[in-house]
């Protein structure tokens, strides 16, 4: 595209994309999402939820708000690395300090937020009760997705059920390969490893070098 352009086009560098342009995109997204969130909030209210996670050894806590006009708005993703390095935990006190300013930002008069929910342990559920003190109109609803997923994880580890899951995966892959054979996981490897002598040089060929001559 740059070669076909008559003017001297200067594409952005990787630092620009990950810096100024990324910040501008985030600010535009946040402003647009906030306007949609507050559009019908005086009628239907706002629900705020949060959940803790650890991604690539980095402790995080995300906060999401939703309303009738905006089903999902990411308020913020809090980095808890420094707090954890100092010996702290993602407990009710920490969540209250980090999430309360964001909630006040979208509802300064404390008349729109009516539901607060968290999908974590009982200690984190206390954060919802503390937030209810600051937002008298809010009610707390415990989320059970995390608990249910742990229960199903233990159930699926039972030997009879794990065998059934293995059979179900095999049947689904077989049926899918019959319906759409070109997308079959085995369609790219018609013969077993070590038996296909015709293409044996391609087994160890670098990806960037292209096909061997």
Classified by CATH at the fold level, domain 14-143 comes out as: Nucleotidyltransferase; domain 5 (3.30.420)
Q: What residue ranges do the domains of the chain occupy?
A: 14-143, 158-209
In angstroms, rounded to a whole number, what is the distance separating the alpha carbons of residues 167 and 120? Answer: 33
**3-state percent helix, strand, coil for the chain, nearest multiple of 5:** 50, 15, 35
Q: CB–CB of 128/134 below 8 Å?
A: no
Q: What is the pLDDT along the chain (213 residues), one digit of tens a residue?
A: 556 666 666 778 888 888 888 889 989 999 999 999 999 999 999 999 888 888 888 888 888 999 999 988 999 888 888 888 888 888 888 888 888 999 999 999 999 998 888 876 667 778 888 888 899 888 887 766 666 777 787 888 888 888 888 888 888 777 767 766 554 444 444 444 444 444 445 444 444 444 444
Show the DSSP H helices in the chain as ranges. 14-17, 20-39, 41-44, 81-85, 92-106, 122-134, 145-156, 159-179
Q: Round to whole Å and give the CA distance between 103 and 175.
A: 49
CB 138 within 8 A of CB 163: no
Paired tokens of 104: 């006040």
> Is residue 41 within 8 Å of residue 112, measured between CB atoms?
yes
Record the tokens describing residue 93, joined without a space: 């006190």
Question: What whole-number distance in Å separates Cα of residue 135 and Cα of residue 110?
Answer: 6
DSSP category for residue 183: G
Claim: this prediction has a pTM higher than 0.95: no
């Amino acid at each position: 595209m740059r070669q076909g352009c008559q003017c001297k086009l200067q594409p952005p560098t990787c630092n620009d994309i990950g810096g100024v342009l990324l910040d501008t995109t985030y600010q535009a997204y946040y402003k647009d999402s906030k306007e949609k969130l507050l559009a019908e909030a005086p009628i239907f209210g706002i629900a705020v939820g949060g959940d803790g996670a650890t991604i690539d050894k980095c402790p995080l806590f995300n906060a999401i708000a939703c309303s009738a006009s905006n089903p999902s708005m990411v308020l913020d993703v809090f980095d808890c690395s420094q707090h954890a390095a100092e010996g702290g935990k993602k407990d009710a006190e920490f969540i209250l300090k980090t999430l309360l300013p964001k909630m006040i930002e979208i509802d300064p008069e404390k008349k729109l937020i009516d539901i607060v929910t968290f999908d974590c342990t009982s200690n984190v559920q206390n954060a919802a009760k503390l937030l209810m003190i600051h937002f008298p109109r809010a009610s707390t609803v415990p989320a059970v997705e995390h608990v249910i997923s742990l229960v199903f994880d233990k159930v699926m580890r039972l030997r009879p059920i794990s065998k059934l899951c293995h059979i179900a995966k095999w049947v689904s892959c077989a049926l899918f390969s019959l319906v759409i054979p070109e997308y079959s996981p085995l369609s790219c490897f018609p013969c077993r490893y070590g038996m296909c002598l015709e293409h044996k040089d391609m087994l160890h060929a670098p990806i960037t070098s292209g096909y061997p001559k």
